[in-house]
Structure 1
Amino acid sequence: MKVSGMLGSDLAMAPLAAAELENRGYDALFTAEINNDPFLPLLMAAEHSQAIRLTTSIAVAFARNPMTVAQQVWDINQFSGGRVSVGLGSQIKPHITRRFSMPWSRPAARMGEFVRAMKAIWHSWQTGEKLAFEGEFYNHTLMTPMFTPPNNGCEAPRVNVAAVGPLMTETAAGVADGMIAHGFTTPKYLREVTLPAVERGLETSGRERSDFEINCPAMVVCGTDEASFKQNLQAVKAQLGFYASTPAYRPVLELHGWGDLQTEANALTRQGRWDELGNLIDGDILDNFALVCEDLAQMPTAFKSRFGTLIDNWQCTFESGDAETQRQLLTAIRNTEN
């Protein structure tokens, strides 16, 4: 299993953070599009690292178009010596239409076409072949030599698509190199919903499961001492409560018979009672959505037992203390047998 670490969005800290993540032994680092652009810190990370893989997790696809994303990712990939992959997410309709003022329709179909268009653009830049992508949502049919970027021989970047529901998951497995499962997921949901959808998508593209990478920011409650454990516990419960309030994630709860939790959590958000969301997460819900392990030494074995057959890359946001402790933890996760 591979392990990725979160870079963060502070441009001033990106050089040091990238070097530290590489020093700690992460296989990759990732940026997220929350309240900052995800590509700028990735560029700085490329300059201040040597071998670690670089990715967005995620960049909002529908806030952009295939050409703009293709250009940004191509440039960073060339600059980094071919270490970049791009993780794309659809976001939800209110953000696309009201925050970004961009069109929204049939997100799975649009995402599939977005990825195909982007790959067609890269293929044109790599081979010199005429760009002739025509689809339902995107058309890219003009590429002159003046606007064709330099190619230093790097392979085209890999593409991961964020997915929760079966339709987007199947789409991801049909067109992308990997998927990013949501942190608000459970082993049961991965086994019964995600993996069957992946297999259906892979069948349409004529690939095997080994050709496709499943990334997941699986949640962990752990700590180096009692105080850090309790702090981490409260933070994870609050995050789970926030996710539970989102209508798009209700199917994950319904699989476990907890659909009413989404209604209750959503009502709290409408009343502005954000600080109370974590109180809705009882022990049973917590244990299904997060790996709870009070003994840090036992965490790698427990993690591999829980996720080892389900995911290929853990997007780790869990901090275990000093650099050496984190390095040992990552090594143990990679080496522990399922």
Structure 2
Amino acid sequence: MKIDANLGSDLAGAPAAAADLEKEGYGGVWVAEAGSDPFLLSLQAISATESATVGTSVAIAFARTPMTLATVGFDLARHSRGRFVLGLGSQVKAHIERRYSMPWSRPAARMRELVLAMRAIWACWQDGERLDFQGDFYTHTLMTPFFAQQPHEYGPPPVYLAGVGRLMTEVAGEVADGFFVHPFTTERYLREVTLPALERGRAKAGEEGLGDFTVSGSCMIVTGRTDEEIAKATRGIKRQIAFYASTPAYRPVLDLHGFGDLQPELTALSKQGRWREMTDMISDDILDEFALTGAPEEIPAALRARIGDVCDRVSLYTPYRIDPALFTGFLAGGGTSR
């Protein structure tokens, strides 16, 4: 199981940060679409590293078209010499319509078609196939030599999709090369809902089991060296759980554990900006389902025990201030091998 790191949104500081992460032994560097353009961040990280996987986790798919995504993905695959992963997520309706001013409908079906459209564009560039993709959401039937990308030895990048619900997860299994497990998940949800949905998607694609399909986990971690650090970390993780739990689309995770009634209460509080009260509603029992708690040297073994048999890679999710030196211990104890 490879241990990955998340890069911040500081564009100017990205090269140095990415280089440091690779030097510390992380197997991959992921960038999110939050504050800065994820593809510019990826370019910076790629240019500053030599062997680490670099990818978007995630770029917002529905804020773009298959052609724009195919173009930047193909370019970064070339520039990285095959180290780039195009990670995509749907976001939610309000953000797509009101923040990006883009259309929203049938997100799972739209995502499936978007990936297939990208693959048709890449087949045109890489293999010389005629571009003739006509779907319900996207149509790409024109490609002239002036605008065509030149094929390269690394080919198109792997595509990973993110999701929580069954339908989007099935789509990932069917048309993608990997899947990002959302931080708002539990071991039980991963095993009982996510993995079966991925396998159903793989079966639709004529594949048996997950095979070379990559499952990339993201685990909330509560750690520190002092009681004060642990308390701050606990508060930070509970705040993040409350934020995610207020999203109606994520309620199935809560329902599986009998916490579903909490979701509408948190949603109502979020609309009033009562974030402190939301955090207070997250009990220690809920925390234990969603996060791993322990000293730095205990985390690698705990990660392996919880998800090591199902995740090929894992990112340590710490939405709170923490001494980066602690993560050296994670890598020393957990390594970057399967």
Q: TM-score, normalised by structure 1?
A: 0.95
Alpha-carbon distance change, 89 to 285 in structure 1, aligned in 2, over 3 angstroms: same
Equivalent-residue separation in structure 2 for 1:14 and 1:79 (angstroms): 17
* Equivalent in the alignment of 2:241: 240
Say whether residues 1:304 and 2:298 are aligned partners.
no
* Equivalent in the alignment of 1:8: 8
Structure 1 residue runs without a partner (length 5+): none
8 Å contact kept, 1:189–1:255: yes
* Equivalent in the alignment of 2:333: 332
* Equivalent in the alignment of 2:174: 174
Shift in Å at residue 322 of structure 1?
4.8
Shift in Å at residue 313 of structure 1?
1.3
Shift in Å at residue 202 of structure 1?
0.9
8 Å contact kept, 1:222–1:292: yes
* Equivalent in the alignment of 2:116: 116
8 Å contact kept, 2:61–2:89: yes
Alpha-carbon distance change, 281 to 51 in structure 1, aligned in 2, over 3 angstroms: same
Structure 2 residue runs without a partner (length 5+): none
**Within 5 A, what are the aligned runs for 1:95-110?**
95-110=95-110
Secondary structure of 1:217 counterpart: strand
* Equivalent in the alignment of 1:158: 158
Equivalent-residue separation in structure 2 for 1:16 and 1:225 (angstroms): 29
What is the CA deviation profile of residues 34-77 of structure 1, one whole-angstrom value per residue up to 9, with x for unaligned ones? 23211111111111111111110111101100000111111122
Shift in Å at residue 246 of structure 1?
0.7
Amino acid across the alignment from 1:216: G
Equivalent-residue separation in structure 2 for 1:179 and 1:215 (angstroms): 6
* Equivalent in the alignment of 2:228: 227
Amino acid across the alignment from 2:4: S
Q: For structure 1, which segment, 218-227 or 158-167, has the greater mean C-alpha deviation from structure 2 after superposition? A: 218-227
Amino acid across the alignment from 1:56: T
Alpha-carbon distance change, 335 to 178 in structure 1, aligned in 2, over 3 angstroms: closer
Say whether residues 1:34 and 2:34 are aligned partners.
yes
* Equivalent in the alignment of 2:323: 321
* Equivalent in the alignment of 2:259: 258
* Equivalent in the alignment of 2:279: 278
* Equivalent in the alignment of 2:213: 212
Alpha-carbon distance change, 322 to 96 in structure 1, aligned in 2, over 3 angstroms: closer
Secondary structure of 1:311 counterpart: coil
Equivalent-residue separation in structure 2 for 1:231 and 1:315 (angstroms): 20
8 Å contact kept, 1:304–1:336: no
**Within 5 A, what are the aligned runs for 1:78-97?**
78-97=78-97
Amino acid across the alignment from 2:226: D
Equivalent-residue separation in structure 1 for 2:258 and 2:231 (angstroms): 27
* Equivalent in the alignment of 1:128: 128
8 Å contact kept, 1:60–1:91: yes
Equivalent-residue separation in structure 2 for 1:38 and 1:303 (angstroms): 27
Give % identity: 49
8 Å contact kept, 1:320–1:326: no
What is the CA deviation profile of residues 250-270 of structure 1, one whole-angstrom value per residue up to 9, with x for unaligned ones? 111011111111111111112
8 Å contact kept, 2:183–2:317: no
8 Å contact kept, 2:223–2:230: yes
Equivalent-residue separation in structure 2 for 1:260 and 1:105 (angstroms): 27
8 Å contact kept, 1:51–1:83: yes
Secondary structure of 2:82 counterpart: coil
Equivalent-residue separation in structure 2 for 1:151 and 1:82 (angstroms): 13
Secondary structure of 1:147 counterpart: coil
* Equivalent in the alignment of 1:188: 188
8 Å contact kept, 1:300–1:336: no
Shift in Å at residue 227 of structure 1?
2.3
Shift in Å at residue 219 of structure 1?
0.6
